[in-house]
Amino acid sequence: MKVLVTGAAGFIGSHAAERLQLEGYEVTGIDNFSDYYDVSLKELNAKALAKAGIEVKKIDLRSPEEFKALPEDFEFIVHFAAQPGISSASTFELYLTNNVIATQNLLNFAHRNRKLRHFINISTSSVYGLEATFPETVPPRPASWYGVTKLAGEQLVLAESRSGKIKASSLRLFSVYGPRERPEKLYTRLIACGIKGEAFPVFEGSEKHLRSFTYVGDIVEGILQAVKKHELLDGEIINLGAEEEYKTGEGIHLVEELLGKKIALEAVPKRAGDQHRTLANIQKAKKLLGYRPATSLKEGLQHQINWYKENFL
């Protein structure tokens, strides 16, 4: 069965593409290789996918013309591609075009795939707002351009399901970490600072933020089960994440323990729209997908440290 994975050269998308290929799916990846962060890191991921037999095509979903480079016989589309995170360097236009316009263009393409069985949208806990501890039935209250536009993209996808045009669902991911995590994200940057002996910038007050840190392998397992059990999921929204929560400060101390060294911290101004707490309510995922995240934070961080040392030292 043929699967299209968008954002396949990114952090979670690359892991999902590999896992699906390993399970016997025929995966095609696409990515626009944006310069939001060092493009060489995405190229490193793309090389790993190439070794697994997965081609990653350079396609920008914001440009409808570029879809002509793709076949129209996909049975599944797994949509990761987005303008990620909360960044003062990202304009509203970037969030709007990458998270909303691009999603609509992809849906237009999805209609041309007559064999399409299911469209899986990858969403985020940021749609819930400053606190993300709720079941999927709670109305979202996003507090950032990222959260607002990801919610808009999610609703575009689900509107297609509600109208009966395609079968689709949306997975809301919680605080994902692990190998290939983006360089500006908490743990990759923290590990880099610890190894290099540099000060780690901490957003004011963020040490007390609570996070449902979820290892990327556990997230990917949930996505795989969503593909396998797609017939149960039309129109559904499902949270994927870990049920344990940690203060960011606890995560910092755990990295220090694993590296065997103290990391200097440098306070920087807080970010507007940054979530205070995420704790994944995964009862629905357990029921529909048999979802059981099993990787401890310590185990997952050790994997991430090993990955960093293997690739950047």
Task: Give residue-wise pLDDT tens across range 222-278.
Answer: 999 999 999 999 999 999 999 999 999 999 999 999 999 999 999 888 877 788 899
Angle made by CA atoms 207, 143, 267, in degrees to the nearest 5: 25
Report the b/e string of 6-38 with b at 16+ CB within 10 A: bbbbbbbbbbbbbbbbeeebebbbbbbbbebbe
110 pLDDT more than 90: yes
- Identity of the residue numbered 251: G
DSSP for 42-84, please give it.
HHHHHHHHHHTT-EEEE--TT-GGGGGGS-S--SEEEE-----
pLDDT at 1: 96
> For residue range 27-56, what is the model confidence (pLDDT) as tens digits?
999 999 999 889 999 999 999 999 999 999
CATH number of 2-174+215-241: 3.40.50.720
**Contact, 171 vs 123, CB < 8 A?**
yes
- What average pLDDT score do residues 114-125 get? 98
> For residue range 178-230, what is the model confidence (pLDDT) as tens digits?
999 999 999 999 999 999 999 999 888 888 899 999 999 999 999 999 999 99
Confidence (pTM) = 0.96
Q: pLDDT class for 88, splitting at 50, 70, 90?
A: confident
Catalytic residue (choose from 146, 177, 187, 308): 146
Residue boundaries of the structural domains of the chain: 2-174+215-241, 186-209+244-280+295-312
3-class DSSP state of 1:
coil
Q: Which residue has the higher pLDDT, 282 or 208?
A: 282
Tokens found for residue 133: 């501890």
> For residue range 134-174, what is the model confidence (pLDDT) as tens digits?
999 999 999 999 999 999 999 999 999 999 999 999 999 99
Would residue 95 show up in a list of annotated catalytic residues for this protein? no
CATH number (3.90.25.10, 1.10.10.410, 3.30.70.580, 3.30.470.10) of 186-209+244-280+295-312 reads 3.90.25.10
3-class DSSP state of 106:
helix
pLDDT at 43: 96
Q: How many whole angstroms separate alpha carbon 295 and alpha carbon 99?
A: 30
Backbone φ and ψ for 87, nearest 5 degrees, come out as -140, 130
Give the mean pLDDT of the chain: 96
